[in-house]
Amino acid sequence: MLQTGNYSLVLLIQLSLLVYDLFVNSFSELLRGAPVIQLVLFIIQDIAILFSVIIILLMMFNTYVFQVGLVSLLLERFRALLIFSALYLTLSICLHCWVLNLRWIQSDRFVWTDGLQALFVFQRTAAVLYYYLYKRTAEYMGDPRLYEDSLWLRDAFSRARQ
């Protein structure tokens, strides 16, 4: 059974990572006085996304549903988050590489092209969907039904066996 204190701590860490991610997405364009600043911010942001995904995966592995082998049930429920996490991480790394590559010599110059603008829009839009899905999933992981035997789990198990 998931302890409330542990869950609160994990939820706090997850929300902190999300807040950092939102902060970097919002204000990284303002903090481009030196290219190193953006480099550090982007590296930490990508690692934070990776950490968030690892944390949510570990929480899923910790559930009773996973341990009895009903991985499909969890995947069905949290598929959207996993897809958007992978998409967002990919888009973020691509955008960060591109932007830093363009601004590395001279940080304060106009670098925008149509392609960069499109990638930027996709990355920021995916970020919002990722925030929504991640926050929702992190809250849903507090579902006590995921951590113990119950009626619906038995039903799902019997359905999976058929």
Partner 1 sequence: MEKGGTKKMRPRELPPLPQRGQRSLPTMPSQNTDGEVPAPKHKKKRVRKDVSVDDMEDQGMEMGGVCSRRTSETGERLALESSSDAPPQRRKKKKKAATTDAEDDQADLVNGDTAEQTTDGEEVVKKPKKKKKPKVAESQLPDEISVEEDDIITDTPTPIPQHALFSAPQSQSQPVGKVFVERNKRFQAAERSDWRKTSDQVDNMNDFQHVQPLWTTRDVSIRVHEGFRVFGLYCHGFLAGYAVWNVVVVYMLAGQHLTALSNLLEQYHGLAYPSQSLLYMLLAISTVAAFDRVNLAKGSKALREFITLDPVALASFLYFSALVLSLSQQMTSDRINLYPAFNTTLWPPGSEHQILHPWVTINLVVALLVGVAWIFIATRPETDYTEDYLMTMEVEPPKDDKSEMMA
DSSP 33-51: SSHHHHHHHHHHHHHHHHH
Examine residue 124 and tell whether it contacts partner 1 (CB under 8 A): yes
Examine residue 103 and tell whether it contacts partner 1 (CB under 8 A): no
Give the interface size with partner 1 as a residue count (CB under 8 A): 44
Examine residue 157 and tell whether it contacts partner 1 (CB under 8 A): no
Shortest CB 101 distance to partner 1, Å: 17
Shortest CB 93 distance to partner 1, Å: 19
Examine residue 133 and tell whether it contacts partner 1 (CB under 8 A): yes
> Judged by CB under 8 A, which of 54, 58, 121, 160 binds partner 1?
121
In the block, tokens 């990284």 appear at 28
Examine residue 135 and tell whether it contacts partner 1 (CB under 8 A): yes
Rg over alpha carbons for the chain, rounded to the nearest Å, is: 19
Asked whether 63 and 81 are in contact (CB, 8 A), the reply is: no
Examine residue 97 and tell whether it contacts partner 1 (CB under 8 A): no
Asked whether 56 and 81 are in contact (CB, 8 A), the reply is: yes
Examine residue 48 and tell whether it contacts partner 1 (CB under 8 A): no
Torsion angle of the four alpha carbons 6, 46, 124, 128, in this order, in degrees rounded to the nearest 10: -10
Q: Which residues of 22-35 are buried (b: 16+ CB within 10 A; e: fewer)?
A: eebbeebeeebeeb
> Judged by CB under 8 A, which of 109, 115, 126, 161 binds partner 1?
109
Examine residue 102 and tell whether it contacts partner 1 (CB under 8 A): no
Termini Cα distance of the chain: 28
Sign (positive/negative) of CA torsion 136, 46, 84, 25?
positive
Binding site for partner 1 (CB under 8 A): 2, 4, 7-8, 11, 15, 22-23, 25-27, 29-30, 76-77, 80, 108-110, 112, 117, 120-121, 124-125, 127-128, 131-133, 135-136, 139-140, 142-145, 148, 150-152, 155-156
